[in-house]
Chains A and B, each alone.
Chain A
């Protein structure tokens, strides 16, 4: 495995959990799959479509998202929104993310270079 592959796998590992957090934050404002994909990409979360679409379904099944079909436009689309349960989980996740960042900062500052 080349150095690039190693870097890519580690970045992937690091990013994996943050997609859920980013989606729960972004979907406080209801949106459909492709639009969410674009929004996340615009904010630096480059998610693969074949990862995001199944993920949205899974989060919905876990009750973290609610969904509604919008049939007003020519193409019917499924709009997702972060549910109350999703909001509670998001709070925990954000706290944890902040805690990780704090610990890491402390570790970096405390460690001799």
Chain B
């Protein structure tokens, strides 16, 4: 007994079965479906309903076919998943940011549009990330299908991380951040008095007028950032209040700094006048590159802290 529904089911099932075995599986499955339908009609069900019930019981043809061919219904199985994940995280967290910054810097130096440079950098980074994710996944999906052994070194206890992971803000990171912030603060007065220009003259790099307006603000923000580092270390891990304060401090530094750079108020005019390349538009290039770096670093810092706070779930 063959009916169109059974035929369609068989066709759908056998589509993905290798040709060599298709014929025999088809004959057997057809007989089995017939037997099952007969079993139900014997119980008083009409043929059409019985057929529907039987095919429903056998389920999705793609799944049945996978069982016949012993094929796994997964893109990347447990054997390859850890390697795939590690490689993907490593590549996506390193290459796109580098490409993005390079693109942005390239854009600032060639085009006359710092806002566009940030956009170009972000879209380049995004495109690279998508490409990496796609191709890495394709390669692993192919490996999974042809069953290539990865021959990775066996995991050993020696690979365990040194520190227990009850904190994700390490002393090293905090110390490094404090040193950098401290140096930054120290540079401000240093550049005022100690920058040597050519023949022994000393000229401030930054506009000295800023000492009575924005520079004290930036120093306060930097000092507060050092305070935040201490708070982070005491808290052991990122929390949402810390993320908020961090974002606020990031903005409090980035916004005035970017504004000063873009409105050409940051640098000492006497200083830039001394160097011909700075006079001839060089100062704009420096300003644009600095803006891009500040934006990327600030955005990344906020995203990174938010991701970590979210992972900690508090």
A residues whose Cβ falls under 8 Å from a Cβ of B = 32-35, 38, 48-51, 53-54, 57-58, 75-78
Chain B residue total in the interface (Cβ 8 A): 19
A-B residue pairs in contact (CB < 8 Å), sample of 7: A33-B31, A49-B57, A50-B64, A57-B28, A75-B31, A75-B35, A77-B35
Contact A50 B31 (CB under 8 A): no
Contact B27 A49 (CB under 8 A): no
* 9 pairs of A and B residues whose beta carbons are closest in the complex: A34-B35, A54-B67, A33-B32, A54-B68, A78-B28, A50-B58, A77-B31, A50-B64, A50-B59
Contact A57 B68 (CB under 8 A): yes
Sample of 6 more A-B contacts, CB < 8 Å, known A33-B28, A78-B31:
A34-B31, A35-B35, A50-B59, A57-B25, A77-B28, A78-B28
Q: B256 at interface (Cβ–Cβ under 8 A)?
A: no
Q: Complex Cα distance A77/B29, Å?
A: 10
Q: Enumerate B28-47 residues with CB–CB distance to A below 8 Å.
A: 28-29, 31-32, 34-36, 39
- Chain A positions within 8 Å of B170 at CB level: none
B residues whose Cβ falls under 8 Å from a Cβ of A = 24-25, 27-29, 31-32, 34-36, 39, 57-59, 63-64, 67-68, 70
Contact B27 A34 (CB under 8 A): no
Checking A32, A48, A50, A51 against B35 with a beta-carbon cut-off of 8 angstroms, the contacting residue is A32
- Chain B positions within 8 Å of A38 at CB level: 39
- Chain B positions within 8 Å of A34 at CB level: 31-32, 35-36, 39
Q: Complex Cα distance A73/B58, Å?
A: 24
Contact B39 A54 (CB under 8 A): no
Count of A-B contacts judged by CB separation below 8 Å = 49
Instruction: Indicate whether A75 sits within 8 Å of B28 (C-beta atoms), given known contacts A50-B57, A50-B63, A54-B64.
Output: no
Instruction: Indicate whether A53 sits within 8 Å of B29 (C-beta atoms), given known contacts A58-B70, A75-B34.
Output: yes
- Chain A positions within 8 Å of B59 at CB level: 50
- Chain B positions within 8 Å of A77 at CB level: 28, 31, 35
Q: Complex Cα distance A51/B64, Å?
A: 8
Q: Complex Cα distance A29/B99, Å?
A: 69
Q: Complex Cα distance A53/B39, Å?
A: 16
Q: Complex Cα distance A53/B65, Å?
A: 11
- Chain A positions within 8 Å of B63 at CB level: 50
CB closest residue in chain A, given B39: A34
- Chain B positions within 8 Å of A32 at CB level: 31-32, 35
Contact A51 B31 (CB under 8 A): no
Contact A76 B27 (CB under 8 A): yes
Contact B25 A49 (CB under 8 A): no
- Give the one of B28, B34, B57, B68 with max A CB within 10 A: B28
Distance between B24 CB and nearest chain A CB, rounded to angstroms: 8
Distance between B171 CB and nearest chain A CB, rounded to angstroms: 41
Distance between A78 CB and nearest chain B CB, rounded to angstroms: 5
Distance between B219 CB and nearest chain A CB, rounded to angstroms: 56
- Chain B positions within 8 Å of A57 at CB level: 25, 28, 68
- Chain A positions within 8 Å of B24 at CB level: 78
- Chain B positions within 8 Å of A75 at CB level: 31, 34-35
Contact B67 A51 (CB under 8 A): yes
CB closest residue in chain B, given A55: B67
Q: Complex Cα distance A35/B32, Å?
A: 9
Q: Complex Cα distance A76/B67, Å?
A: 23
Contact B31 A76 (CB under 8 A): yes
Distance between A73 CB and nearest chain B CB, rounded to angstroms: 10
